[in-house]
A = this chain, B = another copy of it.
Amino acid sequence: MEGGVFLDNFLLILELIGTVSFAVSGGMVAIHKKTDIFGVLLLAAVTAVGGGITRDVILGKTPPTAFINKNYVLIALATAFVLFFIAKTNQKKYQQYEMQIFIINNIFDAIGLGIFTVVGVQVGQQAEQGENLFFCLFLGVVTAIGGGMIRDLMLKEVPFVLEKQVYAVACLLGGASYWYLTKFSALEIDVISVISIIVVFTIRMLATKYEWNLPKAIE
């Protein structure tokens, strides 16, 4: 029983960290695009909860959690507001250190990507089709990259998975780690979660650092 409570709390803490990470990442993109404060708040919220809403609609879990439990949206908005305030009161420094900020943004995005992949696969496992690896991976990827894709569509960017495809590959590998470890290892769920998040995070960071590219048909 207590294990269950702890698991729930652990998942909750992960979701909080993921929400803050994606809100920072979405808000930074919005500030870079020079949207106003409403744009910063909106894009932070969309990036943070967009993937989960898409997943819930696909699962038929309606209304989606993010529409009923306001905590996720409020945390994303509060994060974006603090970010906006810092950027506004330190405009020169913010622009001067934009390259460093981009790197920090990348780290937050990689953390969110790992956490939401694990959350998505977990939600899939608890659904009727939980035995279906394909289905669970699908939900993991949608949860992890859905919010960023909606943000990019709203900003008229080519959605990032098409340009930084390692994103989705990282989610697939991390999601598969999670699924196989929960099925075939004796490790505890929270240990498995942390391992899988690290898998996603590491692939994503290494790919950015070494500019990994996949082959093209026509060069």
Taking Cβ atoms with an 8 Å cutoff, the residues of A that contact B are 31, 34-40, 42-43, 53, 57-60, 62-64, 67-68, 70, 73, 84, 87-88, 91, 94-95, 127, 129, 132, 134-135, 138-139, 153-159, 161-162, 165, 168-169, 213-219
Contact = CB atoms under 8 A, between A and B. Distances in A.
Contacts of A218: 31, 34, 87, 91, 94-95
| Chain A facing B: main interface SS | helix
Contact of A214 (B36, B57, B138): B36
29 contacts: A31-B217, A31-B218, A34-B218, A36-B213, A36-B214, A36-B216, A39-B162, A42-B165, A53-B58, A57-B58, A57-B62, A58-B63, A58-B64, A58-B67, A59-B62, A59-B63, A60-B63, A68-B132, A70-B132, A70-B135, A87-B217, A87-B218, A88-B215, A94-B217, A94-B218, A155-B158, A156-B156, A156-B157, A156-B158
A59 B76 CA distance: 22
